[in-house]
Chains A and B, each alone.
Chain A
Amino acid sequence: MAMAGETLVRRMAAGDREAFGAFYDRYAPLVFPLIVRIVRDRSDAADVLQDVFWEAWQGAPTYDPARGTPEAWMITRARTRAIDRVRALRRRGETFLPPVDESLAAAPAEAGGDAAERAEDRGVIRTALQTLSPPQREAIELAYYAGLTQTEIAERLKQPLGTVKTRIRLGLERLREVVRRAP
């Protein structure tokens, strides 16, 4: 049984470099595809990944298990940094809005200790987004993966702001429901 993520973070907080190595091996292959998906460039994604893990090393003493799992802690951080990168590029005039697709995964990872365990629920969770209505899914993906704000989404979809908010709320409620029921 692999060491629990929380334990690794606690050891990192105490300055344990080996724990950091194990933490990286475990989470980098999971977080990297999300970053690639958002920034859409492997080299940019590698930069973001490095920032994200460096922040994790530095922020380990402030990690609070009551606020979420290490997975969520890392994914949230990775998503935020990746979006920061995309927004910075956009500000520099390299305007682009990524179409929503998920086909950017790189080389598959080696099977880790709990890879099999994760593969089981991956099927259900992976299709979780598909269970949303297309407008809900679109609004959430534009926000979460493309980094648009509610105002930008409303402009882009030519919908009232209230409608966008409601779509996001309903979609997210549904998503929480699916995840809650997953094994």
Chain B
Amino acid sequence: MTSHEAFDELAAVYAVGALDGDDLVRFEAHLAEGCERCTATLRESEEALARVALAGTPAVPPPAVKTVLRQRVAADGRARRAPARASWVPWAAATGAVAALAALLTGGFVASRYEARLGQMARETAAVRERLQRNEAALREQVAVYRNAVELLRDPATRVVELRGAGPSPEASGRVIWHDTAGGQLFVANLPPAPAGKAYELWTLGGAAPQAAGTFQVDAAGRATHRVEPAGGPASKFAVTLEPEPGVAAPTGPIVLASR
């Protein structure tokens, strides 16, 4: 018996799913090395066995099976849809995952055993992609904030106004980078997260009445950045109050941050 004939025999037993013990370990190791002859033997054997099995008289399964499957698939449908927008970060991750899958597949016919695992990986890849997309969106937003701040600071007409904690949050601090025509950017630190249903609202004070300048929330660390639209005129002072979530037209809640 030449060395490969032993594997021919193992391949046949493997194809009918009867290999066990050391033989199974030995043969799977051999397959994982990429033996083309065994891969071909397995493929041909599976096709032959499948055709024999398919040659029997067809039988209609109970209709309930299809009904249940249809429901499961309908519930699963969303997850399988392609992401709406591609960009390089998820693309690179997807490519990496595809390469990983491809590497696994080259393991050869053993792969049929990995299919369930691969399905699992495909789902995990989709989840990673989604997460990357979210992270990327957040990063883009942050970059836009910083870029906006830098642009503002380059302009000699821009002022930096300091805000101090007041009322319920004396520890809080903030700065507004402000330009009378371009608007500005608010940075906040040490502000406790707003209670449920509430939000922080920024006010610009220049004329007679305070002007609403948008609501924001802080992160778990008590930080926030908030883009401030131009007030339609010069603003000299700023204040932040705690208000019902959608924001109000005139301040009603306690002042938590204010400029001098």
Contact = CB atoms under 8 A, between A and B. Distances in A.
Given A46-B62, A61-B122, A62-B119, 19 more contacts: A14-B82, A21-B66, A30-B58, A58-B76, A58-B122, A62-B115, A64-B105, A72-B46, A72-B47, A79-B17, A105-B57, A109-B58, A109-B59, A110-B60, A125-B55, A143-B16, A144-B49, A151-B20, A172-B45
Q: Interface centre among B57, B64, B70, B123, by most A CB within 10 Å? A: B57
Interface residues of A, number: 77
A173 interface: yes
B12 A168 contact: yes
A50 interface: yes
Interface of A: 14-15, 17, 20-21, 24, 28-30, 32-34, 36-37, 42, 45-46, 49-50, 53-55, 57-59, 61-62, 64, 67-69, 71-72, 74-77, 79-80, 83, 102, 105-110, 115, 118, 121-122, 125-126, 128-129, 140, 142-144, 147-151, 153, 165-166, 168-169, 172-173, 175-176, 178-180, 182
Contacts, number: 209
A172 B51 CA distance: 13
Interface of B: 8-10, 12-13, 15-21, 23, 43-62, 64-66, 68-70, 72-74, 76-77, 80-82, 101, 105, 109, 111-112, 115-116, 118-119, 122-123
Contacts of A122: 55
Contacts of A129: 52
B56 A76 contact: no
